[in-house]
């Protein structure tokens, strides 16, 4: 093998064996005939953590492999070496802002010296640009429903977003490697060119309590590599904050959130702040929101004027407004849909703008001080359009009251009283008890009417009473 390969590889392993970040080898110096036959891609290459001057290309092979990432664009050409390993994260540096680059990945199995080259399909990505409008998408709760998930991805592909927020529960059981491979196969047409920023869902901990696969597959901004998983990143004139609702919400996460939002609120170049988390603070779905997030994190989000909070966990679309803050539940990425719960009660007023049990995604366009959200079904129907930059105005017509189920034909919600892993169950009123007491009261009233002394006035009133009943 040429020494040109060995030098950058050795440097990358000294820095971080999981993240190769080295100066690119000039393309003119790459001797492609030295590349050996590839092992198969267990997970096809995809884009992570795109900045103005860098981007990460991640992928997995079915055996420890050497890999070479080729890239070219108006800002230059080059190649970066990675390996030997199965899970690769290769950072491309020295890129130009607001520029599109094309990349391919060549891999070869460790110890295979036959010299036959095999390449991934070519794909493109764009580095971050300053001062321009941008578009991002939000979705979550795919689980293992591949066909519905793929339908949502096909709809999202038409949007050509700059990046995607994932609100968690990408798989049903994180300890099953096969489920991760199915997830990435379904979403690959999108994330091969568009970076994805995930929140940690409760299903990302099933069979994997340390979230080892989550950290293995994703580059978390701020280089966070352990739970709880909270981080922030900047894109254009907006700040995005990802929170971990699976954790005990200890002092550290609250202090970090307060400090991060306080600093951003003093930055005049930041026009919008958005938060995303798996468990919704408020919901009229199966689990009625999260008391812990309401108490520990919501006051901080409200204090600094966050535009919107995106969440998953509840498999439907919900738009709720409370205390001047908008909450969007977007758990329609492919998992079985839920109907609206009949048992969610809140101590004070809260406006429910819309509930739809549909597979869907959210589309948010940011243009200067304006930010517009559209909730879009997998079939392309715009279910709702919201101007996020406008203040929340209370509307008595949308107060949470007697439950009204979605008109969509969907499977029933989980049993009343069921709780999600990592989510405390709520005490719910007993509907059968209420009906029993009502019936008993009616019987008592009826007996009193039958046994009461008859009078002329009583006789005159009886016809009206019968008509009312």
Give this prediction's pTM.
0.79
Q: Are 155 and 361 in contact (CB under 8 A)?
A: yes
- The C-alpha atoms of residue 151 and residue 333 are separated, in whole angstroms, by 9
Half-sphere exposure of 382 (CA within 13 A, CB side): 8
Angle between helices 146-157 and 177-191 (to 10 degrees): 20
| Contact (CB, 8 A) for 320 and 448 | no
Instruction: Pick the closest to residue 304 from 281, 272, 327 (CA basis).
Output: 272
pLDDT over threshold 50, residue 403:
no
Beta bridge partners of 240: 233, 274
- The pLDDT assigned to 215 comes to 96
Instruction: Please name every residue paired with 447 in a beta bridge, in sequence order, or none if there are none.
Output: none
> What tokens appear for 416 in the block?
């009343």
pLDDT digits (tens, 9 = 90+) for 5-39: 334 443 343 334 445 444 344 333 333 333 333 45
On whether the CB atoms of residues 194 and 125 are closer than 8 A, the answer is yes
- Residue 198: per-residue pLDDT: 97
> Looking at the chain, how many residues does it have?
469
Q: Which of 183, 184, 173, 169 is nearest to 314 (CA)?
A: 169
Cα-flanking dihedrals φ and ψ of residue 161, to 5°?
-75, 165
Confidence class for position 394, pLDDT limits 50, 70, 90: low
Question: How many angstroms from the chain centroid is the CA of residue 245?
Answer: 12
């Amino acid at each position: 093998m040429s020494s040109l390969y060995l030098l950058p590889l050795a440097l990358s392993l000294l820095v971080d064996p999981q993240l190769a970040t080295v100066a690119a080898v000039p393309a003119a110096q790459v001797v492609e005939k030295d590349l050996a036959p590839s092992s198969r891609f267990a997970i096809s290459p995809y884009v992570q953590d795109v900045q103005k001057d860098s981007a990460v290309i991640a992928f997995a092979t079915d055996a420890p492999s050497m890999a070479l990432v080729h890239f070219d664009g108006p800002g230059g050409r080059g190649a970066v070496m990675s390996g030997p390993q199965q899970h690769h994260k290769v950072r491309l540096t020295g890129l130009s802002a607001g520029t599109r680059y094309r990349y391919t990945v060549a891999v070869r199995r460790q110890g295979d010296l036959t010299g036959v080259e095999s390449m991934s399909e070519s794909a493109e990505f764009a580095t971050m640009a300053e001062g321009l409008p941008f578009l991002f998408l939000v979705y979550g709760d795919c689980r293992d429903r591949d066909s519905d998930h793929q339908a949502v991805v096909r709809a999202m592909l038409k949007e050509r977003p700059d990046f995607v927020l994932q609100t968690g529960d990408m798989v049903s059981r994180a300890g099953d490697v096969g489920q991760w491979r199915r997830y990435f196969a379904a979403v690959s047409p999108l994330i091969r060119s568009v970076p994805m920023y995930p929140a940690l869902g409760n299903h990302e901990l099933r069979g994997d309590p340390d979230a080892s696969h989550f950290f293995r597959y994703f580059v978390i901004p701020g280089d966070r590599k352990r739970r709880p998983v909270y981080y922030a990143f900047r894109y254009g004139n907006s700040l995005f904050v990802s929170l971990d609702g699976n954790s005990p919400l200890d002092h550290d996460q609250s202090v970090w959130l307060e400090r991060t939002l306080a600093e951003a609120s003093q930055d005049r170049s930041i026009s919008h702040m958005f938060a995303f988390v798996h468990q919704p603070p408020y919901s009229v779905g199966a689990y009625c929101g999260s008391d812990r997030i309401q108490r520990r994190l919501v006051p901080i989000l409200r204090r600094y004027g966050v535009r919107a909070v995106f969440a998953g966990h509840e498999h439907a679309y919900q738009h709720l407004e409370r205390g001047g803050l908008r909450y969007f539940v977007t758990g329609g990425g492919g998992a079985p849909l839920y109907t609206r719960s009949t048992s969610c009660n809140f101590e004070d007023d809260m406006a429910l703008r819309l509930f739809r049990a549909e597979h869907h995604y959210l589309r948010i366009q940011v243009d200067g001080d304006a930010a517009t959200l559209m909730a879009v079904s997998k079939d392309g129907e715009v279910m709702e359009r919201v101007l996020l930059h406008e203040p929340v105005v209370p509307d008595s017509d949308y107060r949470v009251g007697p439950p009204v189920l979605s008109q969509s034909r969907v499977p029933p919600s989980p049993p009343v009283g069921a709780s999600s892993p990592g989510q405390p169950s709520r005490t719910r009123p007993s509907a059968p008890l209420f009906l029993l007491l009502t019936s008993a009261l009616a019987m008592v009233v009826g007996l009193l009417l039958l046994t009461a002394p008859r009078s002329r006035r009583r006789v005159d009133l009886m016809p009206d009473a019968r008509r009312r009943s």
